[in-house]
Every structure is written in structure tokens, then in C-alpha cells.
Structure 1
């Protein structure tokens, strides 16, 4: 029988989605599943985006330009200019979600065998994209005890070899919710400049920074303008994950010209998604204020509820809507599966993402999970009650 590819054998399953069949089976048995595993907000998409799709005047849904609609790029550039980030439409390539932005950027700047450095834990799909491009991931480990702050720059510098071509950061961080400070990024920029590396920055969650903290973009780091590659997405900012519209943003025109060739090969980003995305950029500040306050309420409730559970440790996220949570269990992968296969409380259970899939170093995250606080408070309360009961009943529970 023909064999599958070596790449297919080593690419990891998503820790966010790999347990979906077990969740489906639980639902078939009539069990209510609270999805804390995936960053799919229940926040309403801005009405202006929905109306734009409903009222579109197209008689034919045609291919768009491979680099995205010009009007969308102009409007997105204006959004960044409003934030004090001086870019123009020529600095933007529209992609099919943020995922394609990452993949195109890696394919445009890295060769098989090149190395990139990423603080772990990190968004699990970066591992998959590295496998797809033949790139080697090296990590510096941030810890729950230090609230997942960026490890010392000296630790990053120790990992740099002649094969190192870039450093990846996610700010605010998925899965930890950590927000890198301007000072941390300035220190990182020194390393980028010293070794002439790429700095890939995933700033998808920039709109959600809490407790008076401000987001600082790597696009405003002086002296490394040609080294910086920014990843953006409409998905989380406007609660419209299904439109699949993202962007590569860089002042390095050679990168964009190269990425566009990959864009031509896949033809174009989603036509209807771009209509929704362009309209979304007119979303009012009132919408964001309401969403921001909602996430603050959810975060504060969840963090307090989790830390009241014996043996549970949950740092307070500074941004995004995730946290890595340490649980008193023997194996978080086993626990997550048990929740869906063997446990229910008042006809309900919870689905979490085992954190081992967000670490690159084998053995790390074994008793941690990523939890997304994307459910309304009434459901989040029930989910926390259910999780607390599960920790009492789980056969592999550890003494607090």
C-alpha cells in the first residue's frame, strides 16, 4: 500500500482541535460541553460587517487580486496610521487568515534547515508551519512561576547559531496572555540588529490589553525596519474567525514581492471575507469598549474561580483571552480526554486544550492546560463549577 509522507507523519495534531471527536461523542450522549479549548469568542460580530455582506452589490463573486483588495489595504493602512504606526498600503499583503500570513512569511524568508527561536509556550500552529517549511524551532522557556515573562535576552542569544534566521514573538501572547513591554522589545531589537535576524511578530490580539497597559508594536522599533515582519488577523479583533482574512505587514518590499508569488499560486484571499473585513475597520469605539469590559469581567471571574480550586495556579493574563493554567493532575492530556469520555456533572462537562501541545520541549506542560475565556459569564460560571467538580473526581488527581 502507498505510504503517507514523512512530513505527514511528524506534523503534530492541534492540541486545540484533536479532542473534537470525543466532544462530539459527549454531545451525542446529551452532555453539554463548555468549549474552553478554542479561541472562538461568543461576542457578536460588528453589525456593520454583517450588513456589508448582506447588502453587497456583486452579481458575480469573482477572484480578487492575489495580494488582496486595494480598498481593504488602504483602509487597513489607515487603521495602523491611527495607532501611530506609519505604514502604507504597499506594505500590506492580504492573506487567507493569519495562518497563511505566517506560512507565506516563513516560505518567503526561510530555507529548510534554517532555525527560528520562539519563547515557549507558543501558539501551537507555529510548530506545524515549521514542519511544513522544513524549519527547525529552538525555544527559550517562560514559566508560570514568572507569569510567562520573556526570558532574559542572554538566554535567547545563547541559542543563536549561523543557522539562526529569526525570532518569533506573539504579543499579547497566545496561549499565556502575557504582554511584552516596550522595554523587553527594545532589548530584543538589539539582538535582531546585532545578528541581522528577522523579527516575526504576531500582534493579532493587540486590541485586548488590560489593566491600563498599552500595546507597543515592533513596527515602531527604530533601526530594524527591514527586519520586521508583522502578522495580523481580523478574526479575534472583530469576532469573525470564519471570514479567514489576515495580513503580512512589512516595510521590506522584497519579502512582500516574494510572498505575493505564493499568493498567486493560491489565487486570492476570500472575496466575501474581504468585504466583511473592510467594513469591520469602521467599527466604533463603543463596540470595542463594550467588548473590552466584557473580557475584563470574564478574565477576573475566571482567574478568581480557578485560583480558589485546591492546587490550581492561574496567572492573571495581561492581554488576549487565554491563560495557561496549572492543574493538580497527573497528565493534562489524559485529564482532557477523561473530561469528555468519562465525566459529566449535572449533564455537562468542559473541554480544555492540553498545554503540552503549546510547548516544543518534550515533557513540559504535562499538568497544564490552556483555557480561553470566550464564554459569557453565565456559562463560564457553570464551566468553572464543572471543572472544580471534575478535579475532585478525576482518578489521576494529585494532592494539592
Structure 2
């Protein structure tokens, strides 16, 4: 029996494909510190669970395809804090940010169309592109430049008649980079001059450090009709398992088209929507404390990496990821070796090989993505394991 080309051409998740090796290590008695996945350990706000516990209906019924009104209203109120203003018919609730991205691509692209994406990028962008029959054209960024964008001229050379959109994460996953106002204005001009959509994944909006100023593409009124914002409560409120996301755009005609896809999958789970709607009551103090906690964790990881011989990384100013260039030829081989053959006091580390975050063949082969979502003590132990592991690994080569 044959499988579809669509599925066979889809890459495995570089974040999850080594999980069986990590599980094998655990069965052999090792403790594994997971730096490979962006699963926060910050407690989910009580407001979510309280709302779910208070759900008292005789029938768990379908909700509206566009999302329950209470949740849409909560997103509208949330965006107002950032001076972003959406109407009720300009927001759709989705099964996480992932569905928001897939539905957006399916709506604006035909089979064989292209989207530009700065690489390295969230690996599922490639998977969503495959599913939608859309070709990903990478805009290459480099660790040496802090993963900032190349010039307008470089980007415009990648545009063809099949190019439909620029897709990007800001703040960035997997890089932690925050695009400057100049970069955002440059992309705005490119979109206007070449009739492109901007599909902006802004799920890490809260996580900005070092006094950097965050700017949303939703603040650009002159391209409001071509901006699509995808969002999620997963990282913002440490509620990854709830699978609640959204699509927002001032282009009402576009939103009517995306609604057809929402109707085709009927609805987002009702109870999770009720819990998510209550999160609008979470205070600013919660975010202040969470951001400060992640900043401390970022500093632990960044400073430790900078003290390791041969490691290159620029300080990221957003999200909770670092991409580090290691003094190894094959980062995946090193990650597997750490899990199978190395430990300190029966403890080891799992990271995500970064090659899978690139579309350009050969790039990222000596890089890893580290997610600093563990507590400070565990991060310090993890950095010691990586440092000693590099020394032992390279001494054997």
C-alpha cells in the first residue's frame, strides 16, 4: 500500500523525533532534563480551572464554529492592552495556534503557491506548508547576526509570481529574536509593493526582555487588510494542553472565508473555551513575575553557553529559546550521544537539533535549540552536563 506524497514529504518533528531515545535513557535509570520542548513549568492561572469546575450544564453541546462569544470578547479585551482593536467578526477561535496557521495558509494559498519564512523557523510551518500544498521559501538568517533579517533587496529577490505571503514568528521561535521597528516597516513595505499577506505568529508577545520594545503587525493600519495575526494561550498562560488559539484580521472578507474551515471541523472544545475565556481576568502582575522568571532563566543559559569553549550564540531578547552553534560537526549525533552514552551522576540532557528548523539543506547541522523552561537549579545542572559532555565528546573524536 502506498502513502500520499503529502505525508511522505512531511518531515518528522525535530523537537519530538528523539523522544524514544530519551525514553530509553529513562528506562535505563537516567534522569533526563528536557530542554528540547517549549513546555513551560509555570503554573496555569487558577482562573482557568475555576471556570472549568464551575461549568454546570446537563449537555456538553457543540459551541459556535467561530468560538463562544465570551472567549472572543476576552481576546478583544486582551488586545486592547496592546492598543490593538478588533471587532467580534474579526476574531476566530481555533484549536491552538497550529490550526490558526494551517487555516490561514489554506485560505490565502493555492496548491503550488509559495510563502517566504525567515529561517530557522518553527518546524511545523514546514508541516503546515506540506499539508496545504504550499512551498516554503526560506529567508536565511544567521546566528552571527542574532537571526535578524537581511536587506530588503535580498528578500525581494526571493519573490516570484507564486509568492502569496511572508510568514514569521515575532518574538521568534526557535531563535528568541525580536524584530526591530525598522525590520517590521521593511516587511510592511515589501508586502504593500508586492501584494503579499503578512501572516504574523505572535504567541510569545508577552516574553520580551532587556527593555526591548515589542511591536505588533496589527499596529500597521496602512496594511491592516493584509495582516493576519495568529495567537494562542498556550505559552502566555502556560496552558499548552488546552489547545486554544485564534486568528485575527481586519480583513472581514478573509475572515468569512476562514470561517468555512472552522465550520468544517464544527467547533473548538467547549469546556476549554470556557476556561480560556476566564483568563482575561489574570492580572498584569502575573505577567511581570513570569517574564522576570524567564529572564533569569535566559541569563543562566546564555551566560553558561558563553563560557563554553567554541560555542557561539547571541543573546536572545524574547520568547524562551536560544539557538547555539556548538563545536561539533553533527549536533544531532551529539544530542543522541548525550542521551545514550553520557551522564553526570546518572543525569543527562535532551536538546532539539536545529537542522530541522531550517529549510536550506545543510544549515543548522552544528546547532541546537535550547528551551529554558526548567527551574533555575535544573538549568544550572543542565548547563554543567552540556559543558562536560562537549569536552568528553570532542576528546573522543
- Fold shared, TM-score > 0.5 on shorter chain: yes
> How many aligned positions are there?
397
Q: Post-superposition shift, 1:218?
A: 0.4
Q: Distance in 2 between matches of 1:254 and 1:346?
A: 59
After the TM superposition, which of the residue ranges 206-215 and 335-344 deviates more from structure 2?
335-344
Q: Distance in 2 between matches of 1:389 and 1:61?
A: 53
Alignment of 1:118-133 (within 5 A): 118-133=117-132
Spell out, residue by residue over 1:314-337, the C-alpha distance to the aligned partner (whole angstroms, 9 max, x if none): 211110000111111120111112
1:139 is matched with: 138
After the TM superposition, which of the residue ranges 349-358 and 182-191 deviates more from structure 2?
182-191
1:12 is matched with: 11
1:131 alignment partner, SS class: helix
Alignment of 1:109-120 (within 5 A): 109-120=108-119
Does residue 295 (structure 1) correspond to residue 294 (structure 2)? The answer is: yes
1:221 is matched with: 220
Q: TM-score, normalised by structure 1?
A: 0.97
Cα RMSD, aligned residues only: 1.2
| Residue segments in structure 1 that go unaligned for 5+ positions in a row | none
1:118 alignment partner, SS class: strand
2:228 alignment partner, SS class: strand
Alignment of 1:3-82 (within 5 A): 3-82=2-81
1:378 is matched with: 377
Does residue 169 (structure 1) correspond to residue 171 (structure 2)? The answer is: no
Q: Distance in 2 between matches of 1:68 and 1:164?
A: 31
Q: Distance in 2 between matches of 1:299 and 1:338?
A: 25
1:392 alignment partner, SS class: helix
**Contact persistence 1:119–1:151 (CA under 8 A):** no
2:199 is matched with: 200
Alignment of 1:194-273 (within 5 A): 194-273=193-272
Q: Distance in 2 between matches of 1:312 and 1:382?
A: 18
**Contact persistence 2:338–2:348 (CA under 8 A):** yes
1:367 is matched with: 366
Q: Distance in 2 between matches of 1:205 and 1:65?
A: 27
1:338 is matched with: 337
**Contact persistence 2:77–2:280 (CA under 8 A):** no
Q: Distance in 2 between matches of 1:268 and 1:281?
A: 21
2:101 alignment partner, SS class: helix
Change (3 A) 1:396 1:356: farther
Q: Post-superposition shift, 1:61?
A: 2.0
| Residue segments in structure 2 that go unaligned for 5+ positions in a row | none
